[in-house]
Amino acid sequence: MKYKSQKVAYWFFALCMLLFTLQIVYGFIMGFARIGMDGLHDFIPFNTARAVHTNLLVVWLLTGFMGAAYYIIPEEAQTELVSVKWAYVQLVSLAVVGVVAIVGYHFNYWEGRKFLEIPRELDYLVVVNVLLFLGLILATLYKGKRRTTTALVLTMGLVFAALLYLPGMIWFDSQVTDSFFRWWVVHLWVEGVWELIMGGILAYLLIKLTGVDREVIEKWLYVIVGLTFLSGILGTGHHYYYIGVNKIWLVVGGIFSALEPLAFLAMALFAMYMYRKGEKSHPNKIALFWTIGASIVSFIGAGLLGFAHTLPQTNIYTHGTLVTAMHGHYAFWGAYAMIVLAIISYALPNMTGRKRYNFDAGHYAFWLANIGMLGMTVAFGVAGVAQVYLERIMKLDFMDVQNEISIHFIVLLLSATMFATGIVLYIIEFAKHGQPTDEALNMVEE
C-alpha cells in the first residue's frame, strides 16, 4: 500500500535532476579547460569549477537520498509522514543553502578542503536542515506500525551520515590533524555509512522488483552491514599513509581497505541472486536495470578500481593523480548516482500514474549514460597512468606532464558527451511523467 505523503519525494527528485544537470555543466567547463579552451577562466577558474562540480555531486546525491527516505519510510513504517508541510520547508531551505554555497564559491567564499569547501558558518545552516529532515523521518518511524530492517538500515545510514558531518566542522591549527578528521567525513561517508543508505535502498527495490521474501533479502542486508563496518572503519587508514601520522596506519589501512571490496561484492551477488531467484517479473524493467546496474558498477568502480590504488606500495605513486579521478567517477556513479536513478525510476511511475517503462528512451538513457561513463573512466585511467609514469617515475615537471596528457581529455569529452546525452534523455523522461497525484498512488498494486 502507498501513502499520500510519499509524493513529497517527487520534488526532492526534481531538485536532484536540476543540480545533477548543473554538475555536468561544470564537468564540461573543466574538461574543455584541460584541452586549452578556458574562455571562462576569469569568471570560473578550474579550482572553482572543481569545487562546484564535486559539491553539486554531493548535494544532488543527498537530495536523492532524502527523497528516497521520504518515499520509502512511510511505506515501510505503514503510516503517513508526520508533517508534509515541514518536509517542504526542509526542501526549500536545502535548495537555498545549496544555492548560497554554490554562488559563494564563485566569489571565493569557500575553504580549500577538498569536498568540504562549504564555509563553517554555512555548515550551521546545513546542520539545522539535516536535523529537521531526520526529525521528520525518525518521528514517522516512531509513529509507524511497523519497523523493518530495511527502514532501520536506511535510517541508521542517514543518522550516522549526519553525525559524521560534525568532525569536519572543528577548527584545527595543524594541517595534519585537519586532514586526519577530514577523512572521517569524506571516507567514512562513501566507504561506510552511505553504503548503508545504498544497502537500504537496494533492499527495498529488490523486495519490490523481484518479489523475493523480505526475510531472505533482509538477512543479506545484515551481512552487508557487517562487512561494511568490518572493513570500512579501519580502512580509513588508506588515507593516512603519508600525511604525517603514525606509520602503523600503513599496515592497518592496507589490510582493512583491501577488504572493503567484499561489501561491494556482496551487494552485487545479492542483487544478481535475488534477480535470478525472483518469481515475479515486475513490468518496470528500467528500474530493474538501474538497480542491478548499481550493484555491479559499484563493485567495479569502488571495489576493483579502489583496490587498484589502496595498498601503500601503489598509493605512494598514484596519490592525488588522475588515477584517483578515474576511481572517484566510476565509484560515485555506480554506487550512489545509479542507486538514486534507480529509486527515481521505480517511484516515478507509481507517483504519477504514467507507466512509461516500455519506452525506448529509458533504455537508451541507461546505456548511453553507462557506456559514456565507462569511456570517461578509461580516459581518466589512461591519463592517470601516463601522469604517474611521467611525473613520479620520470620526474618531469607537473605542468609539462599536464600538457603531455591533455590529449586524453578529448576522449574524455567525447565520452562525456555520450554520457550527458543519456542523462538528458533520462531527464526528458522524468519530465514526461508529469506531476504526482493521490489517485496514482492509490492505484499502485504490488
**Residues in contact with ligand HEM by the rule CB under 6 A:** 24, 27-28, 30-31, 34, 50, 53-54, 57, 114-115, 186, 190-191, 238-239, 257, 260-261, 298, 302-303, 306-307, 309-310, 315, 319-320, 324-325, 327-329, 331-333, 335, 337, 416, 419-420
Residue 187 binds to Fe ion (criterion: CB under 5 A): yes
Q: How far apart are CA 433 and CA 435, in angstroms?
A: 7
For Fe ion, what does the binding mask look like between residues 191 and 220, x meaning CB under 5 A?
x-----------------------------
* Contact yes or no for 253/237 (Cβ under 8 A): yes
Going by the DSSP 8-state scheme, the letter that residue 72 receives in this structure is H
Q: How far apart are CA 280 and CA 208, in angstroms?
A: 9
Beta carbons within 10 angstroms of residue 242's beta carbon: 13
Nearest residue to ligand HEM, by Cβ distance, number only: 306
Report what 325 binds from ligand HEM, Fe ion, none; CB cut-off 5-8 Å by kind.
ligand HEM
Q: How far is the CB of 326 from ligand HEM (least distance, A)?
A: 8
Cell numbers standing for residue 299: 563493485
**The Cα angle at residue 169 between residues 321 and 152, in degrees rounded to 5:** 90
Beta carbons within 10 angstroms of residue 100's beta carbon: 14
* Contact yes or no for 259/235 (Cβ under 8 A): yes
Cell numbers standing for residue 274: 535475488
Mark residue 395 as left, alpha or beta (left: phi above 0; alpha: psi -120 to 50; beta: remaining): left
Cβ closest to ligand HEM, residue 349 vs residue 422? 422
For Fe ion, what does the binding mask look like between residues 97 and 136, x meaning CB under 5 A?
----------------------------------------
Q: How far is the CB of 120 from ligand HEM (least distance, A)?
A: 18
Nearest residue to Fe ion, by Cβ distance, number only: 187
Report what 27 binds from Fe ion, ligand HEM, none; CB cut-off 5-8 Å by kind.
ligand HEM
Q: How far is the CB of 310 from Fe ion (least distance, A)?
A: 8
Q: How far apart are CA 363 and CA 361, in angstroms?
A: 5
Cell numbers standing for residue 41: 577562466
Cβ closest to ligand HEM, residue 188 vs residue 351? 188
Cβ closest to ligand HEM, residue 3 vs residue 65? 65
Q: Which residue ranges make up the site for Fe ion (CB under 5 A)? A: 187, 191
